[in-house]
């Protein structure tokens, strides 16, 4: 499988560039209070208004409610992007403001902010490292690991990587169930935040049940969270799970190479780029998580150096669904059909 629009990053250009990449990204790292506040207004406000409109639409037709759900889900994704930026300390200069807004956003997206922030930091520190997989990422086995695994582990991995799980009930499980429990990586602060987030979610559900009814709440919230979580998982998947991505054993692992070669530029239509908070410029985000989402596109356009990267269009992204394993010999992602060719040789 090949993608004609793919352009591998030229790391030599980074090394030989007269200005260091650290100096380049530093120009875009300062959050702008006005832009951050406006993003809160144009995200939280429309989401809550649309939620109310969906409740009104129940008295007209549930089909109308479902028709509004994708827009609400898109806005909920933007809420998550705000949480995401707060977790990186890129949304406000104040850490306290970041934690307050991040925690409130976490309630809306059913995510314990501090616990997620901790695990996401591990993801950024270990993305593309074969020896540090399994925290905050889409778990990926190598071809040899899969071939040597017992049958039950291979079956479990096939189920885990299947579209039915990855893009079906898997996202709902993560956000509605998994996020309700303490992670083994969590400390005291993360545990307290998890408890408060769960209590706040429970309070909202009980309030909704006492006012509009539990049935109405579920008819509105479930389609929104399913669409938003599925789209979010898909975005995270495609940004690291493409054919020529980057995986190395720890002694050979390099941060810059992992950011630029192991993260894609997911080229989306402008409306989807807005809903996803520019996270498609994922290679720049991994190179410098301190850049606010509203500065990522500017950094990309003003620096040709960052335009030599793996580009994935919406159509091309659909072809990555068949990629399941990392082939260390060919240094690329392959599908399960690749195993048959290996065994027949």
Specify the pLDDT at position 2: 38
Place of tokens 């083994």: 184
Phi, psi of 239 (to 5 degrees): -75, -10
pLDDT tens digit sequence for 130-168: 999 888 888 999 999 999 999 999 999 999 999 999 988
Domain segments of the chain as ranges: 11-344
Specify the pLDDT at position 314: 87
Percentage of the chain modeled with pLDDT above 70: 94
Distance between CA atoms of residues 146 and 157, nearest Å: 9
Provide mean pLDDT across the span 270-296: 96
- Count CA within 13 A, CB hemisphere, residue 231: 28
Residue 107: band (very low, low, confident or very high) from pLDDT cuts 50, 70, 90:
very high
Enter the pTM of the model: 0.91
- Count CA within 13 A, CB hemisphere, residue 269: 4
- DSSP bridge partners of 129: 248
Provide mean pLDDT across the span 317-338: 91
Token representation of residue 193: 């935040």
Provide mean pLDDT across the span 207-224: 97
Which is it for strands 325-327 and 332-334: parallel, antiparallel or unpaired? Answer: antiparallel
> Is residue 27 classed as helix, strand or coil in its secondary structure?
coil
Distance between CA atoms of residues 296 and 25, nearest Å: 10
Distance between CA atoms of residues 16 and 305, nearest Å: 11
Residue 7: band (very low, low, confident or very high) from pLDDT cuts 50, 70, 90:
very low
Distance between CA atoms of residues 330 and 244, nearest Å: 10
What is the DSSP code string of 265-297? Answer: EEE--HHHHHHTTTTTBHHHHHH-TTS-HHHHH
Provide mean pLDDT across the span 86-90: 97
Please choose, from the candidates 313, 167, 147, 159, the residue with its C-alpha nearest in 3D space to the C-alpha of residue 232.
167
């Amino acid at each position: 499988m090949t993608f004609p629009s793919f352009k591998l990053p030229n790391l030599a250009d980074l090394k030989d560039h007269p200005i260091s990449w650290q100096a380049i990204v530093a120009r875009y790292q300062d959050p702008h209070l006005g832009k951050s506040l406006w993003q809160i207004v144009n995200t939280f406000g429309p989401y809550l208004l649309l939620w109310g409109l969906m409740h009104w639409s129940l008295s007209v037709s549930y089909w109308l409610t479902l028709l509004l759900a994708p827009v609400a889900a898109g806005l909920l994704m933007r809420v998550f992007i705000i949480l995401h930026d707060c977790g990186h300390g890129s949304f406000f200069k104040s850490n306290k403001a970041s934690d307050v807004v991040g925690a409130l956003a976490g309630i809306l997206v059913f995510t314990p902010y501090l616990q997620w922030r901790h695990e996401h930091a591990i993801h950024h520190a270990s993305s593309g490292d074969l020896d540090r997989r399994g925290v905050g990422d889409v778990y990926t086995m190598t071809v040899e690991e899969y071939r040597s695994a017992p049958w039950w582990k291979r079956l479990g991995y096939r189920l885990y990587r299947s579209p039915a799980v990855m893009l079906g009930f898997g996202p709902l499980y993560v956000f509605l169930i998994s996020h309700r429990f303490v992670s083994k990586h969590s400390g005291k602060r993360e545990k307290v935040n998890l408890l408060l987030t769960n209590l706040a979610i429970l309070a909202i559900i009980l309030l909704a049940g006492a006012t509009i009814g539990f049935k109405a709440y579920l008819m509105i919230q479930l389609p929104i969270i399913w669409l938003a979580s599925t789209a979010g998982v898909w975005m995270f998947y495609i940004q690291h799970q493409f054919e020529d991505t980057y995986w190395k054993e720890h002694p050979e692992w390099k941060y810059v190479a992992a950011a630029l070669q192991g993260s894609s530029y997911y080229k989306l239509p402008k409306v989807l780029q807005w809903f996803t908070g520019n996270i498609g410029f994922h290679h720049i985000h991994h190179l410098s998580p301190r850049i606010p989402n509203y500065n990522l596109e500017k950094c990309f356009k003003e620096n040709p150096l960052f335009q030599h990267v793996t580009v994935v269009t919406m159509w091309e992204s659909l072809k990555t669904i068949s990629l399941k394993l990392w082939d260390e010999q060919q240094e690329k992602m392959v599908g399960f059909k690749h195993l048959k060719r290996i065994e027949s040789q």
